[in-house]
Each structure stands twice: as structure tokens, then as C-alpha cells.
């Protein structure tokens, strides 16, 4: 029995033209739901899914990395196939199946040609429900993870990023990281426990795009996910964000490299916050635009201080940030930092009607570009479900941005953008300018 509870034909009107995307809400016989955009341009099917609230933050104390390792091992051997066999089946049939984790969720993806879909779906089911977790594969994977951790600490960008999060959250919640000690402490039992805790279809959201019908998808959902327990509840959308710790303003990791790299950031707003859209447009003006943001203008275009400087608005499940980065030669880094702080301090003053208009034009006009490949479309369908934006979101989205006023944005700038709240993590050589009072 197929339960198709709703079919929405979405007509989004852009200036004179309209484009239509049909999202099918497909429900399987056992109640597993997926959102589908069918497209037969190519014989390709892409599936994207997330198991919510069982990401890295769910790792037990002292075992940071366990969920990530468990997820990575799902494609490294199952009850029916050894690591080599499983990988060979994927490669030989041009099937991609992958899993990854972040703080909030375990994500998975599948891409297959139509002609190989039966095998692809069977392998995905296999990986999810019957991973082998062989000792040899665990040890090999552990060694790769330990190598990756070493590399992270070698590279200024990843070191700055890791240090920023650890500092901002005092090593808890979003500030926990796997290290050599925690990774070495993870046992096979830990991995099995993470697997048992994670894969419940009660916390599963799925997006599918490409060459498959709703009827067929309905059956496929049960084939792949039907055997999973369905005991968990879908987690609620968070009402408040976990705050950053009162920050030490500037942390410097001294390193003898020619170019100094910094990550900076402060609190933002959750996805469903009423201030989200004003802040979204504000961030585009401040540092999100490609070549026309305040940060790029002041740091790169006017002064040639950096090749890359930007900011981005990043809501997560239970916290939200505005983060950015910059890289400048060591002799001039203090000047870059001063410019960034200045942009932050005077953001409200620089919100002109012209900038608001240009930002909106870009954000509205570039929306269709996100729907280029089947994989991108599947990911968007997951994001809409994750943030509970509604099946009519694609229809509403542009109006939500269009309705943001210049005053809304100025208010948001005054309310949120505070250079005194910025946490800077700097990797490289850094000395404060003698007369700078921005860095205290």
C-alpha cells in the first residue's frame, strides 16, 4: 500500500518567469517517509538521509570519535561482504554509498545509475543493518583517523577551527573533539553500541531526486530501512541556542609560518528564529557575498590584505554562530584584524538601500542554481525537513527574503553584531599593533 499524503506542485515566480518543481511526500507501508523530486533527465538516482541527534555530540565521555568511526566503518565490510568485496561491488557498479557525521547527525548518501539500483539499495541496507566491524578494519580505520588528527593539527586552518570550537564551548557540547587518546580508547563494543543507538527510523529524514517513481520509492524505503527499529521520537526543534562561553577575545597559537590565519566568530540565531532572515541578508552584506561584501571590500579590494576573507551565518541543531576567517602575511595581520573588527563595529551604519537591494537580488536570483545535480536536490530536501521548514518552503522562501526591510537589517546589526563578542583564534605569528585598542 502506498501512502502518498500530499503532492505539491510548486510554482515559484521569479520576475517574468516561473519554474515548477514537484515534491512528492512518499510514505512506505511501514511509515517511513521520504521527499522525492522525480527527474528523468538522466538515469541517475540520488538519495540523501540523516539520522538526527545521534551525531558526534552523542559520543560517550572519553570516547570522542566513536560515532565517526562507526559511520566510516559501515562501508568497510558487512556480514555478507568483506571490506574488499563491498568496496569492489561499489566501484564495479559505479555506486557511491557514504556516511559521515557532524555534531548533530549521521548523514548518508547514495548515488546510482538506474540500471544498478537494485544492487545499490541492497548494499545500502546491508551497510546500515549488518556492518561487520571486523577487528582488522577497525584497526586500519583507527590508524587513518589518527593520521587525520595529526594532519589537522599541522594545518593552520583546521587547527584554528578546532581550537575555536573548543574554546567557544569550553570543551563541552559543540566543543568536544576526538583526539589521539579518545580514539585509542574506542573498543569494538563502543562501536557496536553507537550503531545500536543510532539507526532508528523514528529519527530518520530522507530526500530523493532523480529517476525513480513515488510507487517504486515507497517499496524501496521499506526494503532499505524497514528492518530498523522505530522506537525513537523525532527530536524537537531547539527553542534556545547553547551559548558560547564568555570568550577570551583573542587566542594566539604561535607558529613560524609566513602567513597568519585566523578564524573569528560570535553567536548567531537558530534557523527558526524570527531574526533569521534579517541576519541572513545582513551576513550576505557583511561577508557572505562573493566579491561585494564589506569584508572583501575593506580587506581585499581596498587594501590587498587577503586573498580570502568571509563570514557566514551558521545555525546548527542546538547552537548558532556567525563565523568567518582571514589569512594575511604576518607583518600585516594586525591590520586585517583591525579592519574586520571595524566592519563588525560599524555594520549597521553601512546598510544602505543599495546594498540591501543588491543582496536581495543575489539571494533571490541565485536560488535556482542550487538545484543543479540530483545529489544537490536530494540534500536540499533533507535540509528542509531537518529544519522543519515545510513542504511548501520552496514556494515561500523568496517571499521571506523579499519581505526583509532595510530597517530590519539595521536592527539586527545593532542587536547581534558586537565586536566585543568576537572570539578570534589566530594561528601563526601575531603581534598587536602598539596603538590598537580593538584587541583588548
Partner 1 sequence: MRALRLALLFLFVFAAPAFAQYTPIHDFKLANGLQVVVIENHRMPIISHMVWYRVGAIDEVNGKTGLAHFMEHLMFKGTKTVPAGEFSKRIAEVGGTENAFTSYDFTAYFQQLSRENLETAMRLEADRMQNLSLKSDDIEKERLVILEERRSRVDNDPGAQLMEEVSPVLYGASPYGRPLIGYADKIAKLSQDDIMDFYKAHYAPNNAILILSGDISLDDAQRLAEKYYGALPAFDIPARKPQTLSPAAPSRTVTKQSKLVSQKSYYRMHKMPSYGLLPEGDLLPYALQIWSEYLGGGGASLLYQEFAVRRKIATSFGVSYDPGRVGETSFSFYATLADTVGEKEFVRRFNASIDAALSKPIPPERLSKIKRQLAQEYIYAQDSNFHQAYVYGQSLAQGRSVTDIQSWPARIAAVTDKDLEKAATLIKRTRPVAAWLKPAPGGRNN
Residue 401 found at the interface with partner 1 (CB under 8 A):
no
Select the residue interacting with partner 1 from 227, 358, 383, 389 (CB under 8 A): 358
Residue 2 found at the interface with partner 1 (CB under 8 A):
no
User: Between 12 and 193, whose beta carbon lies closer to partner 1?
Assistant: 12
Residue 311 found at the interface with partner 1 (CB under 8 A):
no
User: Between 144 and 352, whose beta carbon lies closer to partner 1?
Assistant: 144
Q: Which residues in the 272-291 window bind partner 1 by CB under 8 A?
A: 289-291
User: Between 345 and 358, whose beta carbon lies closer to partner 1?
Assistant: 358
Q: Which residues in the 15-34 window bind partner 1 by CB under 8 A?
A: 15-17, 19
Q: Is the dihedral of CA 146, 151, 154, 159 positive or negative?
A: negative
User: Between 19 and 237, whose beta carbon lies closer to partner 1?
Assistant: 19
**Which window, 2-10, 148-156, 166-174, 230-238, contacts partner 1 (CB under 8 A)?**
148-156
CB of 316 to partner 1, least distance (A): 25
Residue 366 found at the interface with partner 1 (CB under 8 A):
yes
Q: Which residues in the 372-391 window bind partner 1 by CB under 8 A?
A: 372-376
Q: Which residues in the 181-210 window bind partner 1 by CB under 8 A?
A: none
**How many residues in the shown chain lie near partner 1 by CB under 8 A?**
75
| Three-state SS sequence of the chain | CCEEEEEEEEEEEECCEEEEEEEEEEECCCCCEEEEEECCCCCEEEEEEEEECCCHHHCCCCCCCHHHHHHHHCCCCECCCCHHHHHHHHHHCCCEEEEEECCCEEEEEEEEEHHHHHHHHHHHHHHHHCECCCHHHHHHHHHHHHHHHHHHHHCHHHHHHHHHHHHHCCCCHHHCCCCHHHHHHCCHHHHHHHHHHHCCHHHEEEEEEECCCHHHHHHHHHHHHCCCCCCCCCCCCCCCCCCCCCCCCEEEEECCCCEEEEEEEEECCCCCCCCHHHHHHHHHHHHHCCCCCHHHHHHHHCCCCCCCEEEEEEECCCCEEEEEEEEEEHHHHHHHHHHHHHHHHCCHHHCCHHHHHHHHHHHHHCHHHHHCCHHHHHHHHHHHHHCCCCCCHHHHHHHHHHCCCHHHHHHHHHHHCCHHHCEEEEEECCCCCCCCCCCC
**Which window, 23-31, 60-68, 235-243, 356-364, contacts partner 1 (CB under 8 A)?**
356-364
Q: Which residues in the 69-128 window bind partner 1 by CB under 8 A?
A: 76, 83-85, 87-88, 90-94, 111, 113, 115-116
User: Between 44 and 228, whose beta carbon lies closer to partner 1?
Assistant: 44
Residue 143 found at the interface with partner 1 (CB under 8 A):
yes
> Per-residue x/- marks for partner 1, 234-273, CB under 8 A?
-------------------xxxxxxx-x------------
User: Between 370 and 414, whose beta carbon lies closer to partner 1?
Assistant: 370
User: Between 187 and 366, whose beta carbon lies closer to partner 1?
Assistant: 366
**Which window, 40-48, 66-74, 125-133, 229-237, contacts partner 1 (CB under 8 A)?**
40-48
Amino acid at each position: 500500500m502506498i501512502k502518498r499524503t500530499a503532492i505539491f506542485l510548486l510554482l515559484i515566480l521569479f520576475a517574468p518567469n516561473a519554474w515548477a518543481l514537484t515534491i512528492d511526500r512518499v510514505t512506505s507501508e511501514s511509515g517511513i517517509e521520504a521527499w522525492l523530486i522525480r527527474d528523468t533527465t538522466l538515469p541517475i538516482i540520488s538519495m540523501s538521509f540523516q539520522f538526527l541527534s545521534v551525531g558526534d555530540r552523542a559520543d560517550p565521555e572519553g570516547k570522542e570519535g566513536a560515532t565517526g568511526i562507526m559511520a566510516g566503518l559501515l562501508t568497510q565490510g558487512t556480514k555478507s561482504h568483506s571490506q574488499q568485496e563491498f568496496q569492489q561491488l561499489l566501484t564495479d557498479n559505479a555506486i557511491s554509498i557514504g556516511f559521515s557525521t557532524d555534531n548533530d547527525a549521521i548523514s548518508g548518501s547514495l548515488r546510482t545509475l538506474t540500471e544498478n539500483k537494485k544492487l545499490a539499495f541492497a548494499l545500502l541496507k546491508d551497510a546500515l543493518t549488518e556492518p561487520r566491524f571486523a577487528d582488522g578494519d577497525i584497526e586500519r580505520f583507527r590508524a587513518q583517523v589518527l593520521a587525520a588528527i595529526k594532519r589537522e593539527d599541522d594545518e593552520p586552518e583546521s587547527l584554528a577551527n578546532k581550537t575555536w570550537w573548543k574554546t567557544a564551548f569550553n570543551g563541552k557540547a559543540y566543543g568536544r573533539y576526538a583526539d589521539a587518546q579518545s580514539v585509542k580508547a574506542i573498543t569494538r563494543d563502543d562501536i557496536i553500541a553507537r550503531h545500536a543507538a543510532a539507526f532508528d527510523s523514528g529519527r530518520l529524514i530522507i530526500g530523493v531526486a532523480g529517476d525513480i517513481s513515488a510507487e517504486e520509492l515507497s517499496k524501496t524505503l521499506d526494503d532499505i530501512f524497514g528492518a530498523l527499529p522505530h522506537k525513537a521520537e523525532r527530536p524537537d526543534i531547539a527553542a534556545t541556542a547553547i551559548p558560547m562561553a564568555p570568550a577570551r577575545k583573542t587566542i594566539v597559537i604561535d607558529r613560524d609560518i609566513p602567513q597568519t590565519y585566523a578564524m573569528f566568530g560570535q553567536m548567531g540565531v537558530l534557523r527558526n528564529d524570527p531574526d533569521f532572515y534579517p541576519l541572513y541578508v545582513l551576513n550576505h552584506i557583511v561577508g557572505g557575498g562573493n566579491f561585494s561584501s564589506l569584508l572583501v571590500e575593506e580587506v581585499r579590494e581596498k587594501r590587498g590584505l587577503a586573498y580570502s576573507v568571509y563570514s557566514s551565518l551558521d545555525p546548527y541543531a542546538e547552537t548558532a554562530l556567525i563565523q568567518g576567517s582571514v589569512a594575511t602575511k604576518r607583518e600585516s595581520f594586525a591590520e586585517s584584524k583591525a579592519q574586520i573588527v571595524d566592519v563588525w563595529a560599524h555594520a549597521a551604519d553601512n546598510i544602505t538601500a543599495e546594498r540591501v537591494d543588491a543582496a536581495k537580488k543575489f539571494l533571490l536570483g541565485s536560488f535556482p542554481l542550487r538545484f543543479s545535480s540530483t545529489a544537490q536536490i536530494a540534500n536540499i530536501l533533507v535540509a528542509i525537513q531537518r529544519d522543519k521548514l515545510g513542504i511548501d518552503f520552496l514556494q515561500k522562501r523568496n517571499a521571506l527574503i523579499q519581505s526583509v526591510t532595510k530597517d530590519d537589517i539595521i536592527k539586527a546589526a545593532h542587536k547581534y553584531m558586537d565586536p566585543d563578542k568576537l572570539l578570534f583564534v589566530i594561528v601563526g605569528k601575531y603581534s598587536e599593533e602598539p596603538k590598537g585598542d580593538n584587541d583588548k
